[in-house]
């Protein structure tokens, strides 16, 4: 049975600020800028009534200062530190709400119990307009874990959050409680998706996520929580005049709602820019102001700004909700605008592959409050390019990224090997590897081990070139296979690498096969055999250590081939054809060329 409204008449907390009262008061009703753990440690215990925390989810989301990619251990340790402080700051009868994604919901719930919290509800906030995913289900919910410090003493203002029951609304049943019922623990956002579900008395809550086009959107932070959702939590678990705490202010939604609902607020934010803009948002509202957004989202839709036919946002507010199509168009036009701001005349490929340009693009997305991880945003940009929408938007990409074959030859092998190793390890496509800055950096590190001394963009562009050439290489390889009697290729007798005298090698184009024991490791092609072998296995700054990790007692063989062409680009293409042919015969571990699906 639901617990009665026991705490609307609660005794005041016995957790009182000790000797630090003035410090506590000075911290109230303004955003404190800095690290929340350090700042919490400086505050007296038992000084807050309700804590709401929406920490970074550790999913690689792009914030301006905070890096949202810790190792699992570091994230859990960091979570433990800030949650310990929240527990200490809460009064004995206080409540703690934690908003968290799927990735760490289970871990943080267990952690909360270990720290002494007691669980009351596991609410699912269901929303639409999550960032669209192609290869998995789109994120459409956040967990809202509701804890109290003392399972017997806490505020639960049932009447303040009651909603009409189905008995009242649908059946006009006289027996219905005229005060309505407590909402469900699944909270939803788009009523048309579930006419029969998400009823107000269940534990699945439904509130619209604050999409880019909603009037409510503050516009400088991608994770803005809906005011109505926070209103429900604050009304239910605190009373006017009490203190609501949020260690991760972001766009300051918690404080804005606390202020409107006549509560004090205490809040912290690492980013000076977010803090400044959040403060402006707080200053713009007054106690008693209505909360933004529809109170009952199942019965009304959010107020949005209209967009014109090309997805451009117009300035005047309207009561008409945006359709999904308009929202998509609006997102896409903003993403294209972010590209236009950052690309410096270069192509989409170059912008995604070049760390500096890509950072500028992601920063621009952040300024436009476009939701999504770097992987999501880069992927979406590729998709827009593929559908021709970037061209249609009239964006000039007049600057070419051009590498000569002689230049690429210095690290072509390293790029191909790094591509193969990273893709094998993480089971992603080359595009996704480029779109995810963390994987791309891993790729760079691997490539630099095999051919030290070049820039990220060099290795990345080389792997892209391998991929671009793969189709042609395979058709040449098939031709070689058809003509194999006339163009017989001897793979040559393998010799131990340490027995090879570099002086015996010439500086002509050629192929080589590396093996360890009986295992084929890599088929290489190069415009200059002597230089390539020196860079890979012999020189002071060569890739020999990386090669050693691939196998003991490496051997090398030199397939005999007959290059006909004169121009460098034709030679390179002939070599790739031969390389592809030998790869098809031996399936070596480190080649990616033949794996490309056309």
Ligand X SMILES: C[S@@+](CC[C@H](N)C(=O)[O-])C[C@H]1O[C@@H](n2cnc3c(N)ncnc32)[C@H](O)[C@@H]1O
Contact residues for ligand X (CB under 6 A)?
35-37, 54-56, 63, 65-66, 221, 223-225, 248, 250-251, 253, 268-271, 274
Please, are residues 98 and 106 in contact by the beta-carbon 8 Å criterion?
no
Instruction: State the minimum distance, in angstroms, from the CB of residue 274 to ligand X.
Output: 5
Tokens of 388: 């021709």
Instruction: State the minimum distance, in angstroms, from the CB of residue 187 to ligand X.
Output: 15
Q: Which is nearer to ligand X, 219 or 321 (CB)?
A: 219
Instruction: State the minimum distance, in angstroms, from the CB of residue 439 to ligand X.
Output: 23
Query: Taking the mean position of all CA atoms in its chain, how far away is CA 548?
Result: 35
Instruction: State the minimum distance, in angstroms, from the CB of residue 104 to ligand X.
Output: 13
Closest residue to ligand X using C-beta atoms: 250
Q: Which is nearer to ligand X, 93 or 269 (CB)?
A: 269
C-alpha dist (Å) from residue 402 to 129, 346, 386, 584? 39, 11, 21, 29
Q: Which is nearer to ligand X, 226 or 509 (CB)?
A: 226
CA-to-CA distance for 287 and 55, rounded, in angstroms? 26
Q: Which is nearer to ligand X, 56 or 372 (CB)?
A: 56
Q: Which is nearer to ligand X, 131 or 393 (CB)?
A: 131
Instruction: State the minimum distance, in angstroms, from the CB of residue 224 to ligand X.
Output: 4
Instruction: State the minimum distance, in angstroms, from the CB of residue 319 to ligand X.
Output: 24
Q: Which residues pair with 549 in a beta bridge?
A: none
Q: CB burial class (10 A; 0-12, 13-18, 19+) of residue 184? A: buried
Q: Which is nearer to ligand X, 224 or 515 (CB)?
A: 224
In the numeric block, the tokens 């609501």 are attached to 244
Helix 253-260 × helix 227-237 angle, to 10°: 60
In the numeric block, the tokens 């307009």 are attached to 129
Instruction: State the minimum distance, in angstroms, from the CB of residue 299 to ligand X.
Output: 24
Q: Which is nearer to ligand X, 375 or 457 (CB)?
A: 375
Q: Which is nearer to ligand X, 276 or 324 (CB)?
A: 276
Q: Which is nearer to ligand X, 253 or 422 (CB)?
A: 253
Q: Which is nearer to ligand X, 221 or 410 (CB)?
A: 221
CA-to-CA distance for 218 and 371, rounded, in angstroms? 13
CA-to-CA distance for 365 and 370, rounded, in angstroms? 5
Instruction: State the minimum distance, in angstroms, from the CB of residue 167 to ligand X.
Output: 34
- 345 in the Ramachandran plot: left (φ > 0), alpha (ψ -120 to 50) or beta? left
- 288 in the Ramachandran plot: left (φ > 0), alpha (ψ -120 to 50) or beta? left
**How many residues can be counted in the chain?**
598
Determine which helix (DSSP H) or strand (DSSP E) holds 229, and give its type and residue range.
helix 227-237
CA-to-CA distance for 365 and 7, rounded, in angstroms? 44
Q: How would you classify the pairing of strands 141-148 and 118-126?
A: antiparallel
Instruction: State the minimum distance, in angstroms, from the CB of residue 440 to ligand X.
Output: 23
Please, are residues 68 and 62 in contact by the beta-carbon 8 Å criterion?
yes
Tokens of 424: 């094998």
Q: Which is nearer to ligand X, 56 or 297 (CB)?
A: 56
CB atoms within 10 A of CB 371: 21
Instruction: State the minimum distance, in angstroms, from the CB of residue 296 to ligand X.
Output: 21
Instruction: State the minimum distance, in angstroms, from the CB of residue 112 to ligand X.
Output: 18
CB atoms within 10 A of CB 278: 26
CB atoms within 10 A of CB 315: 6
C-alpha dist (Å) from residue 194 to 125, 169, 198, 206? 14, 17, 7, 10
C-alpha dist (Å) from residue 241 to 35, 97, 226, 291? 26, 19, 22, 18
Instruction: State the minimum distance, in angstroms, from the CB of residue 305 to ligand X.
Output: 19
CB atoms within 10 A of CB 418: 29
Helix, strand, coil shares of the chain as percentages rounded to 5? Answer: 40, 15, 45
Q: Which is nearer to ligand X, 251 or 378 (CB)?
A: 251
Instruction: State the minimum distance, in angstroms, from the CB of residue 236 to ligand X.
Output: 18
CB atoms within 10 A of CB 213: 22
Q: What is the DSSP string of 480-511?
A: HHHTTTTS-------EEGGG--GGGS-SS-EE
DSSP state of 7: G
Instruction: State the minimum distance, in angstroms, from the CB of residue 210 to ligand X.
Output: 8
Q: Which is nearer to ligand X, 52 or 154 (CB)?
A: 52
Q: Which residues pair with 555 in a beta bridge?
A: 496, 515
Q: Which is nearer to ligand X, 223 or 433 (CB)?
A: 223
């Amino acid at each position: 049975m639901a617990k009665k409204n026991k705490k609307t008449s609660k005794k005041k907390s016995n957790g009182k600020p000790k000797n630090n009262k003035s410090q506590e008061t000075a911290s109230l009703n303004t955003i404190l800028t800095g690290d929340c753990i350090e700042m919490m440690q400086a505050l007296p215990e038992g000084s807050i009534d309700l804590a709401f925390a929406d920490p970074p989810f550790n999913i690689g989301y792009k914030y301006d200062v905070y890096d949202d990619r810790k190792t699992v251990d570091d994230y859990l340790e960091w979570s433990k530190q800030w949650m310990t402080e929240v527990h200490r700051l809460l009064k004995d009868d206080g409540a703690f709400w934690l908003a968290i994604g799927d990735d760490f919901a289970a871990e943080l719930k267990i952690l909360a119990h270990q720290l002494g919290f007691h669980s009351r509800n596991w609410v699912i906030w269901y929303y639409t307009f999550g960032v669209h995913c192609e290869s998995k289900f789109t994120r459409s919910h956040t967990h809202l874990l509701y804890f109290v410090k003392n399972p017997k003493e806490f505020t639960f203002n049932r009447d303040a959050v009651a909603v009409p029951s189905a008995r009242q609304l649908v059946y006009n049943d006289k027996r219905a409680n005229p005060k309505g019922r407590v909402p469900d623990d699944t909270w939803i956002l788009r009523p048309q998706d579930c006419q029969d579900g998400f009823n107000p008395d269940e534990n699945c809550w439904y509130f619209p996520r604050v999409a880019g086009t909603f009037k409510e959107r503050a516009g400088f932070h991608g994770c803005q929580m809906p005011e109505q959702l926070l209103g429900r939590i604050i009304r239910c678990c605190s009373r006017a005049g009490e203190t609501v705490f949020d260690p991760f202010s972001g766009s300051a939604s918690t404080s804005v709602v606390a202020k409107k609902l006549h509560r004090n607020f205490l809040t912290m934010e690492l980013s000076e820019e977010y803090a400044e803009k959040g403060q402006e948002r707080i200053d713009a509202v007054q106690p008693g102001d209505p909360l933004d957004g529809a109170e009952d989202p199942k019965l009304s839709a959010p107020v949005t700004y209209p967009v014109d036919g090309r997805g451009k946002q117009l300035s005047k507010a309207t009561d008409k909700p945006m359709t999904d199509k308009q929202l998509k168009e609006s997102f896409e036009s903003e993403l294209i605008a972010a590209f236009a701001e950052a690309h410096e005349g270069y192509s989409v490929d170059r912008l995604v592959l070049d760390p500096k340009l890509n950072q500028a693009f992601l920063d621009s997305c952040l300024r436009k409050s476009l939701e999504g991880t770097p992987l999501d945003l880069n992927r979406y940009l590729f998709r827009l390019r593929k559908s021709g929408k970037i061209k249609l938007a009239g964006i000039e990409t007049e600057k070419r990224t051009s590498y000569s074959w002689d230049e690429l030859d210095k690290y072509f092998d390293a790029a191909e090997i790094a591509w193969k190793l990273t893709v094998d390890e993480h089971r992603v496509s080359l595009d996704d590897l480029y779109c995810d800055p963390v994987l791309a950096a891993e790729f760079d590190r691997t490539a630099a081990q095999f051919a030290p001394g070049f820039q990220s963009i060099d290795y990345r562009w080389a792997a892209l070139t391998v991929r671009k050439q793969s189709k042609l290489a395979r058709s040449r390889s098939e031709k070689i296979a058809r003509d194999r009697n006339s163009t017989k290729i001897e793979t040559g007798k393998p010799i131990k690498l340490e027995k090879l005298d570099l002086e015996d090698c010439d500086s002509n184009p050629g192929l080589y096969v590396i093996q360890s024991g009986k295992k084929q490791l890599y088929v290489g092609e190069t415009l200059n055999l002597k230089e390539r072998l020196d860079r890979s296995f012999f020189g002071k700054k060569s890739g020999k250590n990386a090669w050693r990790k691939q196998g003991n007692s490496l051997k090398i063989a030199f397939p005999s081939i007959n290059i006909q062409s004169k121009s460098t680009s034709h030679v390179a293409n002939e070599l790739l054809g031969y390389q592809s042919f030998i790869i098809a015969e031996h399936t070596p571990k480190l080649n990616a060329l033949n794996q490309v699906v056309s």
